[in-house]
Structure 1
Amino acid sequence: MTKLAVLMTPERAEDVIAPHTRELIEQRFAVTWAPDTSPETVVALSRDADVVLTSWGTPHLDKAIWTDGTGPKAVAHAAGSVKKLVDPVILDQGVAVFTAGGRIAWSVGEYCLAAMLTLARRLPRFDGAIREGGWKQTAYRGHEVAGAKVGILGASSTARALITLLKPFGCDVVVYDPYLSDERAAGLGVRRAELEETLQSRFVSLHVPDVPETKGLVTRKLIEQLPDGAVVINSSRGPAIDQQALLEHALDGRIYAALDVYDPEPPTLEQKVLEAPNLLLTPHVAGDTEEGHLALAGYVIGDVLDYLEHGTKGPSHVDPASWSIQA
């Protein structure tokens, strides 16, 4: 029977493994549940396993685990990025790596849509007016998402989730991504655009990975050229945008912004930023939902079983060719 080592704390297992997934694991594998995630425990259990199931809190799996023909055939990561979990060299050695980033992407897509609707309709402003004893403020009349131009930076899995959620709204969705082909864009129902045009949208949402090419991608100059009243959402990586310039323009009241990521994290924000009614600030939780977390292990384990039994590589499989642009 295939041996599976669950390399996460019992508390994390409760967080990312739904009861029905736990039953599936127990039925299909000879399972060892790690009592802790010390490096010694992780190395010992990994060397004797065919598959390892990891998550947040699992330490780096050193490439030495795979020396002398030992080590698991597959790594199933019930979390997002695998860049800090494994060395890419193991991919060249035939080890299959799977990540639940695609499932987290749906949660992020919902967050982005919620932020768009919340700021488009100026809900924080109206909420504040009621709390202060006021009533309607027609100076802050909101806008609709339906039919609006939406600019998306990066055609990542989170971007694709948002694109799917936007379909009923009939938006004009433009995407900036150097790796996106016209054919792929057509398949997504969007059109490719250069960075400058993408930012000339009523709604702008960032979905880029944390790689050298994306640091400082949205500069002060580009922020200055955003349309008045634009809504900017960053749920990807803080360094991708000039945060200071964005906050300055938001504090001037010219634009609206939803920030779930910052540079650095956690951020140190001035009181005037914390009180700004046109800023929606959240603590890096776009991908964090009850349903989403409980689905993570099942998302990768299903693909691992298909891989072991049929050699198929489902949506959670990490393509070695795309390692450099992984989030």
Structure 2
Amino acid sequence: MPTRKPRLAALLSPERAADVVDQATRTLLQERFEVVWATAEHTIRTTSPTHPAGSARPGTPAAIDPGAVAELAAGADVLLTSWGTPPLAKELWVRGTGPRVVAHAAGTVKNLVDPAVLELGVGVFSAGPRIAWSVGEYCLGAMLTLGRRLPRFDSAVRAGGWKQTEYRGHELAGAKVGIVGASSTARALIAMLKPFGCDIAVYDPYLNDQRAKELGVRTTTLEDAASAAFLSIHVPNVPETKGMITRDLIENLPDGAVVVNSSRGPAIDQQALIEHAVGGRIYAALDVYDPEPPTFGEDVLRSQNLLLTPHIAGDTAEGHLALAGYVLRDALSWLEAGTRGPSFVDPKTWSIAA
């Protein structure tokens, strides 16, 4: 008798599937799973800012209709989810059955599954570590861009000017880099910083000296990390991190420091940071805000000390297409051998996860 293929329900719209499922993963799905794909009939367009899909801007993929989840998930061993998948009700598992795996081709799963589901033995996987690499590239690029003052020089040339003799860029090589939070995005950035020979000082209460040694960094206080020439924020959105980069810390940053926030807007005193950047004392790259989207005045929008991006640090063409394959390979290993891959969501670290 041939072995039954596990049944997989793809709880993502056709547009989102095209965004996060590459051709190699489609081949894997065809070979290893019995797949139920959501169709346009299972989706909705929404303008509600509270819906996981966000507002219905042009080009935004449709979301899965919450009323279609039970139908699509019936009899499934694996749920493939992504942005636009509504929260999964505990009722899917209420009879002691339900899917054995949730493979999330996106970042955080905190708005997707109830932590009680993990306690039932359901394997939950998140593509957050793959997205982390894209975020790490963004942070490195922002550091290099602002460290060399490129927006200022670009603006001068566009205005018909030339060299700005009162400004000179700085090298990242050998510089002190403060990192707040040893998350997966921070670890990706740390790996990318290795060739620069930086003094990498990490503040994270959960990072012990042994793990820091393995990463090639040193542990430090928040105050020391925030005294660096380059400061990058990598913390989850939990009560303990709200406002942790205070006005006092920002005021104590060295002149000319570069601050990068790609984690969560509430982690930093945004008003204080912007004041010091607009005033010309420091430089800042902001990809996240509080609130989102932000509303800024002309002084902020014209500032050459600010690099403002619309929450796209983890959004790359190659990165998105890799997401489904990233979690599904780990999900298969878990189903077949009980192996926990890098995308496995550990119930023990749920409270401090992003």
Provide TM-score, normalisation by structure 2: 0.92
Q: Which amino acid aligns with 1:308?
A: L
Q: Which residue of 1 aligns with 2:269?
A: 242
Q: SS at the partner of 1:43?
A: helix
Residue correspondence of structure 1 range 40-59 to structure 2 within 5 A: 40-59=67-86
Letter in 2 for 1:39: P
**Aligned-pair distance for 1:47?**
3.3
Report the counterpart of residue 161 of structure 2 in structure 1: 134
- Superposed, 1:1-327 pairs within 5 Å as 1-35=5-39, 36=42, 37-327=64-354
Contact map agreement 1:47 1:70 (CA 8 A) in 2:
no
Q: Work out the CA distance in 1 between the residues paired with 2:85 and 2:128.
A: 16
CA distance in 1, matches of 2:351, 2:255: 35
CA distance in 2, matches of 1:46, 1:216: 40
CA distance in 1, matches of 2:67, 2:285: 42
CA shift for structure 1 position 70: 2.4
- % identical aligned pairs: 69
**Structure 1 residue runs without a partner (length 5+):** none
Q: Quote how far apart the aligned CAs of 1:26 are.
A: 1.0
Q: What is the number of equivalent residue pairs in this alignment?
A: 327
Q: CA RMSD in A?
A: 0.6
Secondary structure of residue in 2 paired with 1:69: coil
Q: How much has 1:229 moved relative to structure 2?
A: 0.5
Structure 2 unmatched runs, 5+: 43-63
User: 1:267-293 CA deviation, whole Å, 9 max, x = no partner?
Assistant: 001111011001000000000000000
2: CA distance, partners of 1:219 / 1:310? 46
**Cα distance per residue 1:132-191 (max 9 Å; x no partner):** 111111211000000000000000000000000000000000000010000000000000
1:46 Cα offset (Å): 1.9
Deviation at 1:255, TM superposition (A): 0.2
Distance of 1:106 and 1:178 partners within structure 2: 23
Deviations 1:192-227 (A, max 9, x none): 000000001000000000000000000111110000
Q: In structure 2, how many angstroms separate the alpha carbons of the residues matched to 1:133 and 1:126?
A: 11
Query: TM-score, normalised on structure 1?
Result: 0.99
**Deviation (angstroms), 1:30:** 0.5
Whole-angstrom CA distance in 2 between matches of 1:270 and 1:77: 38
By percentage of residues, which structure has more helix?
A: 1
Alignment check: 8 A CA contact 1:18 1:298 kept: yes
Letter of the aligned partner of 2:307 in structure 1? L
Give the whole-Å Cα distance in 1 for the aligned partners of 2:166 and 2:285.
Answer: 21
Q: Say if 1:215 and 1:241, in contact at 8 Å, map to a contact too.
A: yes
